[in-house]
Chain A
Amino acid sequence: MQRPHVLQIQKTCDQEFIKRVERESGQQVSKCYQCGNCGASCGYTFDFDFPVNQIMRLVQLGQKETVLGSRSIWLCANCQACTTRCPCNIEVARVMEALRIMSVAEGVVSKKNILLFYDEFLNLVRRYGRVFETGLVARYNIKALKPFTDADLGPQVLMKGKLALKPHKIKGLKAIEEIFKRFESHRGK
């Protein structure tokens, strides 16, 4: 994994960013003393550009651009191993989640295909009230330009009656649409 070169810490420290991460995650990031438990517990370190303990340090140093543009925050599967093992009781996974949300808001998502998958998922929830798995994979494959993702699994799940061919629409779609609308107007504030 190629890592960015030397960080110009003095020039790029964004104090406002540190405060925002702490506020939005509800966690005191400054408590982290780099024991490395989170990074050692994380199953994804091998594929991260920065192990999660380094993400914590970069947040302490206000390195907004590096953190929000990292692949790590999007590959994090929210498995909670880091939170469980942090000796400072920092909910590290909540920090990672807050960073993901901020990277979406700032338009600097590094793993666009993962966000695309999540967006398609939410589109289906909004349209039908439940997730329609067949439609989700189909729409993702088309939009991600990866038409054959998991095509090898198709025949057997179809034969076993595990894939619905039509979505199930709930009756309370209006209530769901209203939740989305109120959420959007809340976010806009």
Chain B
Amino acid sequence: MLKRVAYYPGCSCEGMAIEYDQSVRALCYVLGIELVGIPDWNCCGSTPSHSYDPLLGAALAGRNLAIAKSQGLDVVMTPCPSCLKALKTANQVFRERPSEFLDVLGMPFSGDVRAISVLQLLYEEIGPNLIQKAVKFPFKNKKIVPYYGCLLTRPPAFAQFDDPENPVSMDRLIEAAGAAVPDFPHKTECCGAALGITQRDVVMRLTGRILEMARAVGADAVAVACPLCQQNLDLRQDQVNRALKENFNLPVLYITQIIGCALGIDRKTLGIEKLAVKTDALFQSA
């Protein structure tokens, strides 16, 4: 089991997804995983850097992997799927176009630092069984649907994690936390991603469909593992209600917050109060 990983929070974990960062840190602490900061990390370039050439994003993300390596670390964990994709793309571009990549990066690069998501760390390195044993406050009589979004499992050859059509890692972790997991057909449907600001109508429609399905299967809450999915489903839920004349009232929590609560970490530490849709009903016993 991994005991020590480099931690790459990514820019949204310093802002809109600050509660994701808080809950990742608190949970890893309790589970005995040491998160080693990457000194002076920079933005991975995310989607925007790919409007020019994957080389730019690869070099931006690559700098972080190179720093982690210089600290003697071989695994970088990030909570953000978009950062994860960027970090893995750095290794891919290094393999496909090594001389161009190294020219732009301008620092030593080995290409052997592995990037994993926090979900991967929880599922593959710690595992639902161990987590279940540590649970003190199970979510009894609650239904939580797992929403994986696009990038954690797709495309399969690149993600090398879980199943691209019917992933189950989050299902198992939610069950370990004591909640029931209804079948959820929209596990990997796209929420609209970064189009929230530039093309809000599209996000309203796509996010609305996901919330509608969650409600239809009787969910008390939605679990996510991506800052952008969380923002679209939670923060924009009011906008969805206005745009689609709906009345969704579904809490959307990070998987790390759900497990953290079940393990007895206090809600303030996990940043539960920073979520937009109120979560009170989820914590009342039925």
Known: A122-B49, A152-B238, A153-B236. 19 other contacts (CB 8 A): A47-B202, A78-B47, A78-B150, A79-B190, A80-B154, A80-B155, A81-B154, A113-B198, A117-B198, A118-B48, A125-B45, A125-B60, A130-B41, A130-B43, A162-B15, A170-B40, A179-B63, A179-B106, A182-B106
Asked if A131 is an interface residue, CB under 8 A from chain B, the answer is yes
The B contact surface, by secondary structure, is helix
From 47 to 65 in chain B, residues with beta carbon under 8 angstroms from any chain A beta carbon are 47-56, 59-60, 63
From 76 to 122 in chain B, residues with beta carbon under 8 angstroms from any chain A beta carbon are 96, 100, 103-107
A8-16, A32-40, A50-58, A97-105 - interface stretch: A97-105
Nearest CB to that of B48 among chain A residues?
A: A118
Asked if B205 is an interface residue, CB under 8 A from chain A, the answer is yes
Interface residues in chain B, defined as those with a beta carbon under 8 Å from any beta carbon in chain A? 11-12, 14-16, 18, 40-43, 45-56, 59-60, 63, 96, 100, 103-107, 150-151, 154-156, 164-165, 188-190, 192-202, 205-206, 235-236, 238-239, 273-274, 276
Q: Among A97, A113, A186, which residue has its beta carbon within 8 angstroms of that of B50?
A: A97
Known: A179-B104, A187-B53. A131 touches B154 (CB 8 A): no
Q: Among A44, A100, A117, which residue has its beta carbon within 8 angstroms of that of B202?
A: A44
What 6 A-B pairs have minimum CB-CB distances, sorted nearest first? A118-B48, A79-B150, A79-B190, A80-B154, A77-B193, A131-B11
- Listed by A's residue number, 24 A-B pairs whose Cβ atoms lie within 8 Å are A47-B199, A77-B150, A79-B151, A79-B154, A79-B193, A101-B52, A113-B198, A114-B199, A117-B48, A121-B48, A122-B49, A125-B60, A130-B42, A152-B238, A162-B18, A162-B274, A163-B16, A171-B40, A172-B63, A176-B63, A178-B106, A182-B103, A183-B53, A183-B104
Nearest CB to that of A47 among chain B residues?
A: B202
Residues of chain B within 8 A of A97, CB atoms compared: 50, 54
- Give the shortest distance, in Å, between A78 (CB) and chain B (any CB): 6
B197 touches A117 (CB 8 A): yes
Residues of chain B within 8 A of A114, CB atoms compared: 195, 198-199
Residues of chain B within 8 A of A172, CB atoms compared: 40, 42, 63
A157 touches B100 (CB 8 A): no
Asked if A156 is an interface residue, CB under 8 A from chain B, the answer is yes
Residues of chain A within 8 A of B198, CB atoms compared: 111, 113-114, 117, 140, 144
Q: How far is the CA of A186 from the CA of B97 in the complex (A)?
A: 13
- Give the shortest distance, in Å, between A21 (CB) and chain B (any CB): 15
Residues of chain B within 8 A of A125, CB atoms compared: 42-43, 45, 49, 60
- Give the shortest distance, in Å, between A102 (CB) and chain B (any CB): 11
Q: How far is the CA of A91 from the CA of B164 in the complex (A)?
A: 15
Q: How far is the CA of A43 from the CA of B195 in the complex (A)?
A: 13
Q: Among A77, A121, A157, A171, which residue has its beta carbon within 8 angstroms of that of B192?
A: A77
Asked if A137 is an interface residue, CB under 8 A from chain B, the answer is yes
Q: How far is the CA of A163 from the CA of B274 in the complex (A)?
A: 11
Residues of chain B within 8 A of A77, CB atoms compared: 150, 190, 192-195
Q: How far is the CA of A65 from the CA of B205 in the complex (A)?
A: 29
B14 touches A130 (CB 8 A): yes
Asked if A133 is an interface residue, CB under 8 A from chain B, the answer is yes
Asked if A88 is an interface residue, CB under 8 A from chain B, the answer is no
A83 touches B154 (CB 8 A): yes
Q: How far is the CA of A115 from the CA of B164 in the complex (A)?
A: 29
B103 touches A186 (CB 8 A): yes
Q: How far is the CA of A47 from the CA of B205 in the complex (A)?
A: 10
Residues of chain A within 8 A of B165, CB atoms compared: 84
Asked if A106 is an interface residue, CB under 8 A from chain B, the answer is no
